[in-house]
Structure 1
Amino acid sequence: MLGMVQANQYLRLFKKEQICGLFYFTIWALILIKMDTLIPKAYYFDKTIFQPITQKIFDSTWSCFQLNQNSMNQNDCIPIEHYNTPLLLSYNGNKLNLLSNVCTHRAHILLDKKTNSNCIRCPYHGRRFDLDGRCQSSPGFSKEELKNSKNNLLNLNQYQFLDLFFYSIKPDFELKHIFNAIKKTMSFFDHDDLIYEKALSKTFVYDINWALYCENYLEGLHIPFVHKGLAKHINIASYKTFVKKNFVLQQAEAHPNQDSFVNSNIGAYYFWIFPGIMLNYYPWGLSVNIVTALEIQKTKIQYFVYKFPNAAIADDDASVLNVELEDQKAVESVQKGLHSSLFNQPSLSDQYEKGVKKFHQLILNYF
């Protein structure tokens, strides 16, 4: 097992030899993996490190957007942007497809706005695809040549939960297995009765690295200090964290006389799926956070709220919106604090911050 002194000796050697950028950081990451420790500060500030690693993470895991399928008509095609990867959503009347929005002939973008047509035609050389992404015709190519599957548009992996459409370009794990585990844990919770609350659902953009938002979510140690209203509802002493392969469950009991699930003293279940999917179960319903890294220090949080009919949601200092704003203030302060030359790496509690450790270990796998 390498020690920190040995690790720093390696780093000084790399710097002396002018090995820098992503290669330098990859070597550093391999050292850290051997040490079973955390990602260094550079990931939060160096674009040459952040960009390729983050692209790889989000291409290899699951992203999400909200979709009201009833609002789509047969033959609708809608362009969607996933980081640097143009995509398009098509509906053939029976099935939704999420396809590459780049022509397989010469890489021209196929659609730049919503259309309604029974085919997708490239505006550059006229190559035509059906709404499942199969290449039907292409000027200058024989039917025999077009039989090669490389001429078809890539059809992405997808999974639907409520009105949320999850997708992945090349997933490292099956999302349905994780949702099956969540549904098993929450077998007493009737998802079919949930109603989407548009007025309570928000989109936030924070001036932080996306990883800081996830780190904050993955521990309850800050609750008594940051969320004093929430701390009146849940018993922090009962807070438990269960680390799984690609997700983490946190749960806490409710204080006496506070809302808890039927036939249970649990006041909340918090599920996090790598890298940035969060499902928060309460007696009144469910809120979902979707984290998207926009830039190295700019992160979008889509916040969807679903509740049971006639259920009351707290409208005090423990409300979901107030807790979210308290988290925003905390993580933006951490982003500023990371700039300090006097701070190197966090030290994490084995008891309370095992979820944060798991998050860092998963990120390091992508270097």
Structure 2
Amino acid sequence: MPKDHVDPIAALRDNTSVPFERARAMPTEVYTSQAFVDAELEHIFRKDWYCVGRSDSLVAPGDYISCELAGQPIVVLRDREGDLRSMSNVCLHRMSTLLHGRGNAKTIVCPYHAWTYNLDGKLRGAPAMTRNEGFCRDQYKLPQVRCEEWLGWVFVCLDPNAAPVAEQLSDVALMIAGYDMTNYSEAFYEEHVWDTNWKVLAENFMESYHLPVCHAGTIGGLSRLEDMICPPGGAAFNYHTILKDESLRIAMAHPTKNDRLEGDARRMTYLLALYPSLMITLTPGYFWYLSLHPKGPGQVHIRFGGGMSNDFADDPDTEENFAALKALLDDVNVEDRGCTEKVYRGLCSDAATPGHLSHLERPNYDFAQYLMAKIDAGRAS
């Protein structure tokens, strides 16, 4: 049967019915089909928590970041009371989007007709509206959107019934407690669009099987397959771990300020995939992350950021070491982009056939189970 006649949801259901020991990669249609993207947006991105970044990037009143979540323009900001707040980013007059990118705003001013809102979303002023007898300023307030902070991360959700982030990720919080992830500061933030499916990039993060080959020019030589541990994940996350070489000092626990970690944990890196699309590389010294959102089948919007544990803040060579790390991460991203865009081109081939998974791809199997469960639950409700 031609691939454009295959039901991608039925194909994934068949795929995920097989135990891990006999599992294959997901069917090509789940990456290339617009129908599957539509199902993801409806049953996953409109229902689950999406990360917009770190809370320490939103410190002062008026600091904001905008996003589009399942087609809905949203802004997250720090209000005048110091609370994080999320709301619709669409003017209530002629429906222009309001704030764009990241920045700071004393008020929210529509770029079309200058209707102006306070940081709590209430309409503050509207020019030339006095002659409309039905207009009442007090009746206008931007619709509020759920927003939660967890270990320094900021999440938004369109579903009022979704379980709180902290409840869904309680096992993760316990597992990485010694890292004190709230105590990390963001040092860089960028946004990118790559020509691949968002799940290809997510799965690329979830397995380190590709490191010795894809990253032969950067970190591949330091990545030993025998040091990678890939246990079964949970309902809302998966993870695997790698032991870092002690030559990268800022990946280690701080020698004097971190007495929370012991033994191999002092050099252990967690690669956390928090569903649906937040990918965090967490070392005792630094972190970096990707927050992904689909742009159709063949493109992904990427929020890319990172920083360091505050344990290292006063060390004299921290800035120099982190600059070197950021340069390395940029080179790694170039390699990942090349690999994941090649995978997507291959997936679009009529000859593409999913192969069996390695034991190092257990997180990919768990990710497929999550996708199928969320889509089935959404279609049943």
Kept in 1: contact 2:90–2:98 (CA 8 A): no
Counterpart residue number, 2:191 = 203
Partner amino acid, structure 1, of 2:239: L
Pick from 361, 364, 367: which aligns with 2:372?
364
C-alpha distance after superposition, 1:67-98 (max 9, x if no partner): 6333334xx99875323223344635253332
Counterpart residue number, 2:154 = 165
Partner Cα separation in structure 1 for residue 197 and residue 294 of structure 2: 7
Counterpart residue number, 1:132 = none
Residue 317 of structure 1 and its aligned partner are, at CA, apart by 11
Q: Secondary structure at the match of 2:343?
A: helix
RMSD: 3.7
Counterpart residue number, 1:52 = 39
Q: State whether structure 2 residue 343 is matched by structure 1 residue 334.
A: yes
Pick from 74, 85, 98: which aligns with 1:97?
85
Pick from 27, 49, 52: which aligns with 1:62?
49
Kept in 2: contact 1:232–1:255 (CA 8 A): no
Pick from 236, 243, 257: which aligns with 1:246?
236
Partner amino acid, structure 1, of 2:40: I
Q: Secondary structure at the match of 1:53?
A: helix
Pick from 347, 350, 354: which aligns with 2:362?
354
Q: Mark the runs of 5 or more structure 1 residues left unpaired by the alignment.
A: 1-10, 129-135, 139-150
The 10-residue stretch of structure 1 (270-279 or 189-198) with the greater mean CA deviation from structure 2: 189-198
Kept in 1: contact 2:47–2:162 (CA 8 A): yes
Partner Cα separation in structure 2 for residue 27 and residue 225 of structure 1: 33
Aligned CA distance change for structure 1 residues 222 and 120 (closer, same or farther; 3 Å): same
Residue 272 of structure 1 and its aligned partner are, at CA, apart by 0.8
Larger radius of gyration: 1
Kept in 2: contact 1:294–1:300 (CA 8 A): yes
Partner Cα separation in structure 1 for residue 29 and residue 44 of structure 2: 17
Kept in 2: contact 1:101–1:109 (CA 8 A): no
Partner Cα separation in structure 2 for residue 53 and residue 182 of structure 1: 24
Q: Mark the runs of 5 or more structure 2 residues left unpaired by the alignment.
A: 100-107, 110-115, 127-131, 254-261, 377-381
Partner Cα separation in structure 2 for residue 57 and residue 32 of structure 1: 19
With normalisation by structure 2, the TM-score equals: 0.71
Q: Secondary structure at the match of 1:159?
A: strand
Kept in 2: contact 1:317–1:323 (CA 8 A): no
C-alpha distance after superposition, 1:279-319 (max 9, x if no partner): 11124311121112122211122211111323334838992
Superposition map of 1:1-367 within 5 A: 24-35=7-18, 39-66=26-53, 68-73=57-62, 80-89=67-76, 91=79, 93-100=81-88, 109=95, 112-113=98-99, 114-115=108-109, 117-118=117-118, 119-120=122-123, 126=135, 137=139, 153-162=143-152, 164-170=153-159, 172-191=162-181, 193-198=183-188, 201-228=189-216, 229-242=218-231, 243-255=233-245, 259=249, 261-262=252-253, 263-265=262-264, 266-307=267-308, 308-309=312-313, 310=315, 311=318, 312-313=321-322, 315=324, 319-349=328-358, 351-365=359-373, 366-367=375-376
Partner amino acid, structure 1, of 2:214: V
Kept in 2: contact 1:32–1:39 (CA 8 A): yes
Partner Cα separation in structure 1 for residue 58 and residue 37 of structure 2: 35
Partner Cα separation in structure 2 for residue 189 and residue 316 of structure 1: 19
Partner amino acid, structure 2, of 1:319: L
Q: Secondary structure at the match of 1:71?
A: coil
Partner amino acid, structure 2, of 1:356: N
Q: How many residues align?
A: 323
Aligned CA distance change for structure 1 residues 49 and 70 (closer, same or farther; 3 Å): closer
Aligned CA distance change for structure 1 residues 177 and 120 (closer, same or farther; 3 Å): same
Residue 178 of structure 1 and its aligned partner are, at CA, apart by 4.9
With normalisation by structure 1, the TM-score equals: 0.73
Aligned CA distance change for structure 1 residues 300 and 110 (closer, same or farther; 3 Å): closer
Kept in 2: contact 1:61–1:275 (CA 8 A): yes
Partner amino acid, structure 1, of 2:73: P
Kept in 2: contact 1:241–1:251 (CA 8 A): yes
Aligned CA distance change for structure 1 residues 289 and 28 (closer, same or farther; 3 Å): closer
Counterpart residue number, 2:129 = none
